[in-house]
Structure 1
Amino acid sequence: MIAVDYGTTPLPNLPGHVTICEVGPRDGLQNESTVVPVEIKAEFVARLVDAGHRVVETTSFVHPKWVPQLADAEELLSQVERVSGVRYPVLVPNEHGLERALARDVRDIAIFASATETFAQRNLNRSIEQSLEMFAPVIARARAAGIGVRGYLSMCFGDPWEGEVSRQQVVRIATQLLDAGCTELSLGDTIGVATPGQVDALLRDLFEVGVSADQIAVHFHDTYGQALTNTFVALQRGITTIDASAGGLGGCPYAGSATGNLATEDLVWHLHGLGIDTGIDLQKLVETSAWLVGYMGRTCLARTVAALT
Structure 2
Amino acid sequence: MASYKHFSFFIYAFAFATVESTAFSSLSTNYYDYSCPNALSTIRSVVEAAVQREQRMGASLLRLHFHDCFVNGCDGSILLDPSPTIDSEKNAFANVQSLRGFEVVDEIKQAVDQACGKPVVSCADILAVAARDSVVALGGPTWKVKLGRRDSTTASRVAANANIPAPFFSLSELITNFKKHGLDEKDLVVLSGGHTIGYARCINFKAHIYNDSNIDPNFAQYLKYICPINGGDQNLAPLDSTAATFDVSYYSNLVNKIGLLHSDQELFNGGGSTDALVERYSYNSKAFYQDFAKSMIKMGNIKPLTGSKGQIRFNCRKVN
TM-score class normalised by the smaller sequence: under 0.3
Name the structure where helix makes up a greater proportion of residues: 2
TM-score, scaled relative to structure 1 = 0.24
TM-score, scaled relative to structure 2 = 0.24
Name the structure where strand makes up a greater proportion of residues: 1
